[in-house]
Amino acid sequence: MRTRSETGRTHVVIIGAGFGGLHAARRLKKADVEVTVVDRGTSHLFQPLLYQCATGLLSQGAISSPIRHLLRRQRNAKVVLGEAKNVDVAARTVAVERPDGSTMTIPYDHLVVAAGMRTAYHGCDDFAEFAPGMKTLDDALAIRRKIIGAFELAESLPDATQRRPWLTFAVAGGGPTGVELAGQIRELATLALENEFRSIDPGEARVLLLHGGDRVLPSFSPALSRRAQKTLDDLGVETHLGVHVTGVTADQVETTTKSEPHEITHYEAKTALWTTGVEAVPFAAALARALGVEQDHGGRVPVEADLSVRGHPEVWVVGDMSSRDELPGVAEVAMQGGRHVGAVIAHLAGGGTDRAAFRYHDLGSAAYIARRHAVVQAGKLQLSGYLGWLAWGVIHIAFLAGMRNRMGTVMNWSATLLTDSRRERAITYGDPETARQPYR
């Protein structure tokens, strides 16, 4: 067989070192192949804890691990820093833009695409400047700058009327990310910042959770949604259901009631955060064009039962970017999909011909609401409150990449529980009114 690596072994190029890409690469460790992992960043990011980085609980190092370090013992794998831009399916090459602007053309025998999603503004792209989403480390750090900066600016203002917009935080979206973020801002304000300011009372921070549905956490059972709502209420989060965010500026958020479109409300809020949706990263469009397939409504690329693309058995799409059977966009789908594709490629490279279908084993989902309160749903098992919180902690530590990050996170959580403090509050210089993100 003709191969595209210098050694004559099958060359597998993996785009993206998130959950899907990393697990595909690891599954190929013992296979007779060469692996090249391409990512636009240098780290594998644990997105489920981004909100803890954004609210000063964990450092960016605690929720990310260098890709090179994670693959250091895998002799058949190398790492390339760059953003995949295009694919030539006839030549079997992928064009990668390097940080210096140059383009690298990488030949492949198998191409595994696991490039994930980005924040979607549903046609309201002008909101992005003032309401960052939460998908990348840059997003988490921009959000941290906005939140911490808002308390600092409020402290320096002479009267309550001027301070109020700085102490009002509007979170759009009542899914897990919005709920976690809203809860954490209240906990930051009422516990960690409690005695640190002289003019303001951080506990007066108003946190608005603005959600289009009729209950928060719609992907969980109604009973768990109710329990989550009760915890949010007890924390002091102000939830507004059945509303769309229809306007965001530097100092105002506008909502429209879904059932009464003429009912428009304006909130004076200097901080708006956006968690209402995702769409495939731009590379998905280039890939779909090159492969001659149509993206779904979220920009995902359709795949066959084995996760390869119809008519292109050497191109595979896994994780959030692949569109198949309405599988949820969660880490476990990406990890299992990555491992599945790695196994099939290893089998083919070893001379096999079978291409097994991908079967997802649902291990459940979890969302953190507040300290000692989380919800966990796995089949018939439903946990909330303290038990849910313990289970949530164990699950997240188990999936965090790297022993050092696991140990550091456990120590950090313990210290925060014992002292109520949050030490990861460093912000870079910048304008807290805007959030500029390099990857949109």
Structure tokens at 105: 């053309």
| CB-nearest residue to ligand FAD | 18
Strands (E) in 114-263, as ranges, are 117-119, 168-172, 206-211, 237-241, 243-248, 252-257
- Compute CA 278 distance to the chain's CA centroid, rounded to the nearest angstrom: 9
Counting every residue, how long is the chain? 440
Torsion region of 67: left, alpha or beta (phi above 0 gives left; psi -120 to 50 gives alpha): alpha
Q: Residue holding tokens 């530590």?
A: 397
Helix (H) / strand (E) element for 107: namely: strand 103-107
Which residues neighbour 73 within 8 Å (Cβ) at sequence distance 6 or greater? none
CB closer to ligand FAD out of 266 and 436: 436
CB closer to ligand FAD out of 154 and 295: 295
Helix (H) / strand (E) element for 232: namely: helix 222-235
CB closer to ligand FAD out of 166 and 274: 274
Find the shortest distance in angstroms from Cβ 19 to ligand FAD. Answer: 4
Active site residue 83: no
Find the shortest distance in angstroms from Cβ 370 to ligand FAD. Answer: 15
CB closer to ligand FAD out of 163 and 371: 371
CB closer to ligand FAD out of 248 and 376: 376
CA distance 322 to 341: 12
CB closer to ligand FAD out of 200 and 231: 231
Q: How far is CA 30 from CA 27, 33, 102, 107, 110, in A?
A: 8, 8, 33, 21, 16
For 108, half-sphere exposure in the C-beta direction (CA atoms, 13 angstrom radius) is: 30
CB closer to ligand FAD out of 282 and 430: 282
Find the shortest distance in angstroms from Cβ 330 to ligand FAD. Answer: 3
Find the shortest distance in angstroms from Cβ 286 to ligand FAD. Answer: 8
- The pair phi, psi for residue 104, each rounded to 5°, is -115, 130
DSSP label at residue 383: E
Find the shortest distance in angstroms from Cβ 408 to ligand FAD. Answer: 19
Structure tokens at 207: 């946190």
DSSP label at residue 36: E
Find the shortest distance in angstroms from Cβ 331 to ligand FAD. Answer: 4
Find the shortest distance in angstroms from Cβ 215 to ligand FAD. Answer: 18
Positive or negative CA dihedral for 214, 219, 222, 224? negative
Q: Where are the alpha helices (DSSP H) in 256-372?
A: 283-291, 331-349
CB closer to ligand FAD out of 137 and 167: 137
Name the site residues for ligand FAD (rule: CB under 6 A).
15-21, 38-41, 45, 47-48, 50-51, 83-84, 114-116, 134-135, 176-177, 281, 283, 319-321, 329-332, 334, 365-366
Structure tokens at 197: 């300011």
From the CB of residue 398, how many other CB atoms can be counted at a distance below 10 Å?
Answer: 8
Which residues neighbour 215 within 8 Å (Cβ) at sequence distance 6 or greater? 174, 222, 225, 226, 229, 241
CB closer to ligand FAD out of 120 and 331: 331
Select which of 83, 180, 187, 424 is catalytic: 180
Find the shortest distance in angstroms from Cβ 287 to ligand FAD. Answer: 9
Query: Strand 77-81 relative to strand 33-39: parallel, antiparallel, unpaired?
Result: parallel
Helix (H) / strand (E) element for 199: namely: none
Q: How far is CA 108 from CA 131, 323, 332, 350, 355, in A?
A: 39, 23, 27, 17, 19
Find the shortest distance in angstroms from Cβ 320 to ligand FAD. Answer: 4
Structure tokens at 210: 């603005």
Instruction: Return the active site residues.
Output: 180
